[in-house]
Amino acid sequence: MKKISLFVLILLIVFSVSCIQDYLIAPEGTTLSITAKPSVIYYDNDYSIITVTAFEKSGRPIRDGITVYFYSDLGSIVEEAKTKNGKVSVKLYSTGEAGTANVTATMPGAGEVSIQVVFSSDVR
Protein backbone atom coordinates (compact mmCIF):
# COMPACT_ATOMS: atom_id res chain seq x y z
CA MET A 1 0.00 0.00 0.00
CA LYS A 2 2.85 2.42 0.76
CA LYS A 3 4.34 1.83 -2.70
CA ILE A 4 1.05 2.79 -4.36
CA SER A 5 0.74 5.93 -2.23
CA LEU A 6 4.30 6.97 -3.05
CA PHE A 7 3.63 6.41 -6.75
CA VAL A 8 0.48 8.56 -6.60
CA LEU A 9 2.38 11.28 -4.72
CA ILE A 10 5.13 11.33 -7.36
CA LEU A 11 2.54 11.59 -10.15
CA LEU A 12 0.85 14.51 -8.38
CA ILE A 13 4.16 16.34 -7.96
CA VAL A 14 5.11 15.87 -11.61
CA PHE A 15 1.67 17.04 -12.75
CA SER A 16 1.77 20.09 -10.45
CA VAL A 17 5.22 21.15 -11.63
CA SER A 18 4.23 20.88 -15.29
CA CYS A 19 1.12 23.01 -14.68
CA ILE A 20 3.12 25.69 -12.85
CA GLN A 21 5.64 25.92 -15.70
CA ASP A 22 2.82 26.64 -18.15
CA TYR A 23 1.76 29.74 -16.21
CA LEU A 24 4.77 31.68 -15.00
CA ILE A 25 4.26 35.17 -13.66
CA ALA A 26 6.75 37.99 -13.28
CA PRO A 27 8.33 38.45 -9.86
CA GLU A 28 7.05 41.28 -7.68
CA GLY A 29 8.70 44.59 -8.55
CA THR A 30 9.26 43.76 -12.22
CA THR A 31 9.47 46.82 -14.46
CA LEU A 32 8.44 46.81 -18.12
CA SER A 33 9.38 48.98 -21.07
CA ILE A 34 8.13 48.89 -24.65
CA THR A 35 9.55 50.13 -27.96
CA ALA A 36 8.37 50.18 -31.56
CA LYS A 37 10.89 50.26 -34.40
CA PRO A 38 10.01 52.03 -36.54
CA SER A 39 7.20 54.03 -34.94
CA VAL A 40 5.82 55.14 -38.33
CA ILE A 41 5.18 52.55 -41.05
CA TYR A 42 3.44 52.41 -44.42
CA TYR A 43 -0.27 51.74 -43.94
CA ASP A 44 -0.42 48.71 -46.24
CA ASN A 45 1.69 45.56 -45.84
CA ASP A 46 4.49 46.94 -43.64
CA TYR A 47 5.54 46.12 -40.08
CA SER A 48 7.06 47.50 -36.90
CA ILE A 49 8.93 45.38 -34.36
CA ILE A 50 7.38 45.73 -30.91
CA THR A 51 9.81 44.83 -28.10
CA VAL A 52 8.98 44.48 -24.42
CA THR A 53 11.86 44.38 -21.94
CA ALA A 54 11.37 43.27 -18.32
CA PHE A 55 13.74 43.61 -15.38
CA GLU A 56 13.42 42.25 -11.87
CA LYS A 57 13.66 44.65 -8.94
CA SER A 58 17.36 43.69 -8.64
CA GLY A 59 18.00 44.96 -12.19
CA ARG A 60 18.46 41.51 -13.72
CA PRO A 61 16.40 40.47 -16.75
CA ILE A 62 13.43 38.32 -15.77
CA ARG A 63 13.61 34.56 -16.32
CA ASP A 64 12.77 32.95 -19.63
CA GLY A 65 9.33 31.62 -20.47
CA ILE A 66 7.03 34.28 -19.02
CA THR A 67 4.17 34.98 -21.42
CA VAL A 68 3.53 38.51 -22.66
CA TYR A 69 0.10 39.17 -24.16
CA PHE A 70 -0.24 41.69 -27.00
CA TYR A 71 -3.21 43.67 -28.28
CA SER A 72 -3.53 46.30 -31.01
CA ASP A 73 -6.65 48.19 -32.08
CA LEU A 74 -5.30 48.53 -35.65
CA GLY A 75 -3.34 46.14 -37.84
CA SER A 76 -2.39 42.60 -36.91
CA ILE A 77 -0.17 41.35 -34.08
CA VAL A 78 0.68 37.99 -32.49
CA GLU A 79 -1.45 37.60 -29.37
CA GLU A 80 1.26 36.17 -27.12
CA ALA A 81 4.96 35.37 -26.93
CA LYS A 82 7.37 34.16 -24.23
CA THR A 83 10.35 36.03 -22.81
CA LYS A 84 13.93 35.09 -23.51
CA ASN A 85 16.80 36.93 -21.80
CA GLY A 86 14.28 39.41 -20.36
CA LYS A 87 12.85 40.40 -23.76
CA VAL A 88 10.17 39.48 -26.22
CA SER A 89 9.66 40.89 -29.73
CA VAL A 90 6.74 40.54 -32.13
CA LYS A 91 5.77 42.16 -35.42
CA LEU A 92 2.86 44.56 -35.78
CA TYR A 93 1.64 44.44 -39.39
CA SER A 94 -0.29 47.18 -41.16
CA THR A 95 -3.28 45.81 -43.04
CA GLY A 96 -4.42 48.54 -45.41
CA GLU A 97 -5.92 51.14 -43.09
CA ALA A 98 -4.17 54.42 -42.22
CA GLY A 99 -4.31 55.61 -38.62
CA THR A 100 -2.64 55.17 -35.25
CA ALA A 101 -2.35 51.73 -33.70
CA ASN A 102 -2.52 51.62 -29.90
CA VAL A 103 -0.46 48.59 -28.89
CA THR A 104 -0.66 47.18 -25.37
CA ALA A 105 1.53 44.45 -23.87
CA THR A 106 0.52 42.76 -20.62
CA MET A 107 2.68 40.53 -18.42
CA PRO A 108 1.08 38.63 -15.53
CA GLY A 109 2.47 39.96 -12.28
CA ALA A 110 4.04 43.06 -13.84
CA GLY A 111 1.17 45.01 -15.40
CA GLU A 112 1.02 46.52 -18.85
CA VAL A 113 2.77 48.99 -21.12
CA SER A 114 1.53 50.74 -24.26
CA ILE A 115 2.92 52.45 -27.33
CA GLN A 116 1.56 53.95 -30.54
CA VAL A 117 2.57 53.16 -34.11
CA VAL A 118 1.40 55.37 -36.97
CA PHE A 119 0.22 53.68 -40.19
CA SER A 120 0.84 56.37 -42.81
CA SER A 121 0.41 56.74 -46.57
CA ASP A 122 3.33 59.23 -46.67
CA VAL A 123 6.18 56.94 -45.56
CA ARG A 124 7.28 55.58 -48.94
User: pLDDT for 64-94, tens place per residue?
Assistant: 999 999 999 999 999 999 999 999 999 999 9
pLDDT of 10 > 50? The answer is yes
In contact, 67 and 24? CB cutoff 8 Å: yes
For residues 78 and 111, give the distance between their C-alpha atoms in angstroms, rounded to a whole number. 18
pTM across the whole model: 0.81
pLDDT of 18 > 50? The answer is no
Q: How confident is the model at residue 15 (pLDDT cuts 50, 70, 90)?
A: low
Name every residue whose Cβ is closer than 8 Å to that of residue 124 and which is 6 or more positions away in sequence. Answer: 42
pLDDT at 81: 97
For residues 60 and 75, give the distance between their C-alpha atoms in angstroms, rounded to a whole number. 33
Could you give all domains of the chain from N- to C-terminal order, each with its CATH number?
A: 26-120 (2.60.40.10)
